[in-house]
Amino acid sequence: MTIKRKAFVVGAYEHPTRYAPDKSTAQLHAECALGALADAGLSPKDVDGYFGARDIPGPNALWLVDYLGLNLKHIDSTDTGGCSYLIHISHAAQAIAAGKCKVALITLAGRPKSEGMATGTAPREGEPDRPDVPWESPYRNTIATQYGMMAARHMYQYGTTPEQLAWVRVAASTHAQYNEHAMYRDVLTVDDVLSSPIIADPLHRLDCCVISDGGGALVLTNESIARTLKRPMIPVLGCGETINTQKSGWPDFVTTGAVVSGPTAFAEAGVSVRDIKYASIYDNFTIMVIAQLEDLGFCPKGEGGRFVQDGNLISGQGALPWNTDGGGLCNNHPQNRGGITKAIEAVRQLRGEAHSKVQVPNCDIALACGPGGVMGTGHGHATVILGRE
C-alpha cells in the first residue's frame, strides 16, 4: 500500500529558543506541540495519534502523552536517532492511510546546551549492554573523530578538499543571516572556516554543527480534515528508511544510508532528483552533506565536493537551494537530533513562508533527509519527499 497523498502536513512549528535553562524538556515538548497545532488550526483534543522518540522525558512515551493530555488511538515511539522524526512522518502517513488515526502529532525537544553537553568532542560511553561497547569504548572514539575519519577517507578516495567542505558551511551561513532565531548569523567565507581550529582532522570547528536547546513539532492529517483547514495542502509523496550496518566489520565509510532511503522515497513519490526544487539535507558535519548529495543522486559518487563549491547550495545563486534556515551548522540542532527541523524548513518552502531572501520560487516538490546514530556504528537514514497542491 502506498502512502502517496494519503496524509498531509498541516502544522509545523520550530521552537524559537536555542538556550532554555528555565524550561523542562516536557515543557519544550508541550510548547512545540501547541505551536504546531495552533499553526494547523487544531487543538490537543483533535490529536488521536502521537509519534515520538528517545528524547521524550521519562522511561517511555506514556508519561509525555499523559502530560500533554492526549486521548489516543495510535502511538509510535520508534527511535533511530536524528532521523527518527522523518521516519515518524512515514509512519504517521502509514497510520493515517490505514485508518489507525486521523490527526498525528510528532514532537522533538531537548536541552543539551543547558546541560553542558559537548556534542561530538567527548566520548560517550553509551549503555553498558550496547553490543559495540566492549570493542569500541577502549579506543575512546568520539562522534567528531568518526566523521573526521569519514572526511579523510572521502578525500583519499575522491580528492575532496577542505575548501570544498568549507563551502557547505558558507552556504549555511549565507542563509542563516536571514533567520532571526539562528544561533550563528554571521556570513562566513571559506577562509573563515579553514582558519577555525581543527577538531578532528581534517574537520575544523566550523565544519561541525551547533549545540542547542529547543525543539519542533509537526501535525499530519488525512485529506478530508486537511481540506477543512486554512493551511496550504502539503501532501506526503514518498518516504524511505533504512539501517546501514557495519556489514560485519566491512563498512563503506563514505556511503550513507541515503543510497537506500533516497531511491525508495523517489520511487514512491514518482519523481527524480531533477524534480526537487529544494532540499533539506541533515548537516551534522559538512562531510555528511557531500556524501548524502552523492548517495541521493544529485551528483555522481565522488563528485560531491565539486558539486557544493562556489555557492552551488545557496538559494538564488546555486543549482540546489539547501537548508535555507541555516541548518544544523548555523541555525538549530535541538537535542542533537536535526531530522524534524529539516522537515519544518521544507514545509516553509512549500508554503512560500521561508524568508523572502531565500524563498525558492514556485517550490512544489521538496526533499528532507538525514541520518540517525553515527556513521560507522548504528547508522540509520530516512528520506521524505513532500509536495504542494
Residue-wise pLDDT for 299-339, tens only, equals 999 999 999 999 999 999 999 999 999 999 999 999 889 99
In whole angstroms, give the CA distance from residue 361 to residue 301: 29
- The mean predicted confidence, pLDDT, of the chain is 94
For residue 124, which of 115, 134, 113, 133 has the smallest C-alpha distance?
Answer: 133
The number of beta carbons lying within 10 Å of the beta carbon of residue 128 is 8
Beta strand pairing call for 234-244 and 365-374: unpaired
Q: What nine digits make up the cell of 122? A: 567527548
In whole angstroms, give the CA distance from residue 150 to residue 360: 31
CATH 3.40.47.10 fits 8-115+213-234, yes or no: yes
In whole angstroms, give the CA distance from residue 106 to residue 176: 25
3 state SS of 239:
strand
pLDDT of residue 64: 96
The number of beta carbons lying within 10 Å of the beta carbon of residue 42 is 20
Write out pLDDT tens, residues 11-34.
999 999 999 999 999 999 999 999
In whole angstroms, give the CA distance from residue 278 to residue 306: 19
Count how many residues are written for the chain.
389
- Given a contact cutoff of 8 angstroms between Cβ atoms, the answer to whether 296 and 16 are in contact is no
The number of beta carbons lying within 10 Å of the beta carbon of residue 115 is 11
Model confidence at 122, pLDDT cuts 50, 70, 90, reads low
pLDDT of residue 369: 98
Mean pLDDT across 248-277:
94
Q: Per the CATH hierarchy, to which homologous superfamily does domain 134-209+238-387 belong?
A: Thiolase/Chalcone synthase (3.40.47.10)
Model confidence at 128, pLDDT cuts 50, 70, 90, reads low
Alpha-helix runs per DSSP H in the chain: 25-40, 61-68, 84-97, 133-136, 143-158, 162-176, 190-195, 223-226, 258-269, 286-296, 304-308, 327-330, 339-351
pLDDT of residue 33: 98
Q: What nine digits make up the cell of 252? A: 563503506
Domain ranges of the chain: 8-115+213-234, 134-209+238-387
Above 80 in pLDDT, residue 3? yes
Mean pLDDT across 84-109:
98
What's the pTM? 0.96
Write out pLDDT tens, residues 129-171.
777 777 777 777 788 999 999 999 999 999 999 999 999 999 9
The number of beta carbons lying within 10 Å of the beta carbon of residue 1 is 7
Name the burial class of residue 330, with classes exposed (0-12), middle (13-18) and buried (19+) by CB atoms within 10 angstroms of its CB.
Answer: buried
The contacts of residue 94 (CB under 8 Å, 6+ apart) are 1, 3
For residue 332, which of 205, 175, 197 has the smallest C-alpha distance?
Answer: 175
Q: What nine digits make up the cell of 310? A: 562556489
The number of beta carbons lying within 10 Å of the beta carbon of residue 86 is 33
pLDDT of residue 244: 86
Write out pLDDT tens, residues 24-66.
999 999 999 999 999 999 999 999 999 999 999 999 999 999 9
